[in-house]
Structures are given as C-alpha cells and as structure tokens.
Amino acid sequence: AQSVTQLDSQVPVFEEAPVELRCNYSSSVSVYLFWYVQYPNQGLQLLLKYLSGSTLVKGINGFEAEFNKSQTSFHLRKPSVHISDTAEYFCAVSATMNSGGYQKVTFGTGTKLQVIP
Amino acid sequence: ETGVTQTPRHLVMGMTNKKSLKCEQHLGHNAMYWYKQSAKKPLELMFVYNFKEQTENNSVPSRFSPECPNSSHLFLHLHTLQPEDSALYLCASSQESWDTQYFGPGTRLTVL
C-alpha cells in the first residue's frame, strides 16, 4: 500500500521569504510524484510532477521540488513567495496497485500556505 | 481553463431531495474521478471510472450513485443525503490512472 504524509497542516511565511513544504511517501514499488495547488473556491491544478530522470523538477509559478529516494521525500520549495501563492498545496503519489495491475494516485492531507504581507 | 466543467457550482438541498451533479471533460481522457472535500478532512476519493467501467468504490454510502454513460461525462446522483454530506465535490479526469489529474472547479453542496 502507498501513503503520503504532509506533516505541516499550515505554514505561515512572510512575503519574499523562501518556503519549503514537506512531503514524505511510503511505497514498496517505484512511484511517480506530484504537487498540486488549490486556490480558494477552485479545484486542484498541477504544479509539477516527477516521473523519471532528473530528481530536481521545476514547475509553474517558480516552484520546484526534489525527489529524494533514500529519504522517500518530495519537498516543494520556492525561493521567494508572493501574496498570490496563498493557497493549499497537496502532494500526491502514484504507484501500481497489487490487485488489478492499474496505478492509483493517493493524495496527502494538504498544507495551507499563508503568505503574510 | 482546465477542460473539466462541473454543474451546478452550488447546490442546496433538503434531506429528502434527489439531485444530480454533472461533470464533463473535454480532454479526451480515459479515467474520471469523484472526490469529496470536507473542511478539516483529507481529500476523499469516492469513485474511479476507467473507460466507462467503475474500477474503484471506496466504501461510499449507497445514497451516492455514480453514472458514467461515456468517457466524457460523469454524474453523481444524490438521494436522501445527510447534513454531514455537505462538502465540496470535485470531479477530475486523467489520460491514464497513474497520470496527472485535471480537476473541475467543484460543486459546493449544502444539505439542510
């Protein structure tokens, strides 16, 4: 079985400061990893994803994440946040299920990023 | 523009009403999903359809009944709901079950 842990439910940060949102996963097989963002009253949208290749992945809006297999982590980072980055961020992992052979995506519980002016 | 639309955006219903939520994707995807998002609770996967066949039902009460008439449309039929069913219901689609999911804006449901 696969699982995703986002330990921080809320992260306050001052505008123009750097931020890191943590994500750890557990899975017995190879995984694909995703970060999604949800703005108020909207659905989720993809920020970035890791499928293979370079472990440093760059996404939209200046965000990046690094896949660390040994630490089973996929932390999201931004060097300088803006007020418009205030939103909820979800980490997700995709792995092959033991039964059926198809892969499913499991979402974390989300981290609310609050950017303070 | 996410390519996934949901109607209605807001719905208020009594516990004895019957209503339906509609989701349509214009992306040519093969998989479609229903999620429930409640305040202070994790995103809950309800149903998954692959090529119009239901491949996952996460112990959802029978008062929620999904329907997938074709690969572009997904419905969630609601009847005799409870106040605790009030939540944001999100629809999503993906090309493959492992890949990026594209979400609609959701239907904010309030059960009185």
A20-71 pLDDT, tens digit each: 999 999 887 778 999 999 998 889 999 999 998 899 999 999 999 999 999 9
HEC states along B57-86?
ECCCCCCEEEEEEECCEEEEEEECCCHHHC
Give the whole-angstrom CA distance, residue B41 versus residue B60.
16
Instruction: Pick A43's closest partner by Cβ from B2, B99, B100.
Output: B2
Cβ atoms of B37 and B86 within 8 Å: the answer is no
Q: Which residues of A touch B56 (CB under 8 A)?
A: 104
Q: Which residues of B touch A100 (CB under 8 A)?
A: 55
CA–CA min distance B94, chain A (Å): 11
Q: What is the pLDDT of residue B97?
A: 82
Confidence check: pLDDT of A101 > 70? no
CA B79 vs CA A54, B46, B86: distances in Å: 48, 16, 13
Among A67, A100, A81, A68, smallest CA distance to A20 is for A81
Beta-carbon separation of A104 and B98 below 8 A: yes
Q: What is the pLDDT of residue B102?
A: 94
**Would you place residue A99 in the very low, low, confident or very high pLDDT band (cuts 50, 70, 90)?**
low
Beta-carbon separation of A44 and B101 below 8 A: yes
Cβ atoms of B4 and B104 within 8 Å: the answer is yes
**Would you place residue B7 in the very low, low, confident or very high pLDDT band (cuts 50, 70, 90)?**
very high
CA–CA min distance B71, chain A (Å): 18
Q: What is the pLDDT of residue B37?
A: 94
**Would you place residue A102 in the very low, low, confident or very high pLDDT band (cuts 50, 70, 90)?**
low
Among A36, A46, A111, A116, smallest CA distance to A82 is for A116
Instruction: Pick A45's closest partner by Cβ from B98, B103, B108.
Output: B103
**Would you place residue B98 in the very low, low, confident or very high pLDDT band (cuts 50, 70, 90)?**
confident
Task: Check if B32 contacts A (Cβ < 8 Å).
Answer: no
Mean of pLDDT values over B70-89: 95
HEC states along chain A?
CCEEECCCCEEEEECCCCEEECCEEECCCCCEEEEEEECCCCCEEEEEEECCCCCEEECHHHCEEEEECCCCEEEEEECCCCHHHCEEEEEEEEEECCCCCCEEEEECCCEEEEEEC
Q: What is the pLDDT of residue B27?
A: 95
CA–CA min distance A82, chain B (Å): 22
Q: Which residues contact A83 (CB under 8 A, 6 or more apart)?
A: A15, A115, A117
Q: What is the pLDDT of residue B22?
A: 98
Q: What is the pLDDT of residue B42?
A: 83
Q: Take residue B64 and report the two structure tokens written for it.
A: 């929620």
